[in-house]
Amino acid sequence: MDKANASIDSLRKIHGAVEQNRGAVIPDWAYRDVLFMLIHYSIASYELLERKLTTEEKEEVYDVFFRVGTRMGLVELPLTYIEWLPIRESHLKENLKQSKYTFDLFKQYKKHLGWIRYEVLVEVQKLVVPKHVKKLLYLNDFSLLTIAIPIYKFSRNKEMGKFFKNLLLPSEYKTEIKELDIQAR
């Protein structure tokens, strides 16, 4: 727990430095939007790759992020997952807008990830982003990964899992990824 709190405190310091350099405070709603996105993606990606979570398990996920948000100094966070759902929906509708920066961000993804990884990113987003976000990004409902996910699920416990990781993950991060795999065992 101390290590987790230290990591959160470090994040807060980094954001504080960004605020100081910009001469402007990052508003609470921006932190909340990112926190809410992380909650959604954590649940959606787990359900995509593993199984549907129960409401109690979703409450546990939410509680972890609630503690992160509280540690970062966020106020007025919903106390439970069930309370969070309508507030998150409201945040999606009120705070997410399409702009020229939206598509510039995707150009940057493509530039830095390369064509194959970029296409995988887009296909993954089709499977995990909320419907409202899908509309804003002009993403359709069909993803080629619908076919690949069952293959990945089967392969990840086999040697083929290493092949997929090597194919998709940038080589400069392979050492760190191997260390994470070892820690996860």
pLDDT in tens, 109-162: 999 999 988 999 999 999 999 999 999 999 999 999 998 888 878 776 656 666
Here the tokens at position 141 are 């409902």
Please indicate whether residue 178 or residue 113 has the higher confidence score (pLDDT). Answer: 113
Q: Which of 145, 36, 118, 124 is nearest to 83 (CA)?
A: 36
Buried b (16+ CB within 10 A) or exposed e, 29-42: eebbbebbbebbbb
Rounded Cα distance between 95 and 133, Å, is 11
pLDDT (tens digit, 9 = 90+) per residue, 94-111?
A: 888 899 899 999 999 999
CA distances from 51 to 45, 94, 108, 134 (A): 10, 31, 32, 22
The count of other CB atoms within 10 Å of the CB of residue 47 is 15
Q: What is the pTM of this model?
A: 0.81
Tokens encoding 95 = 């705070």
pLDDT tier at 54, thresholds 50, 70, 90: very high
Half-sphere exposure of 184 (CA within 13 A, CB side): 6
Interatomic CA distance for residues 19 and 25, integer angstroms: 5
Instruction: Report the pLDDT value the prediction gives residue 164, as an integer from 0 to 100.
Output: 67
Q: What is the CA radius of gyration of the chain?
A: 18
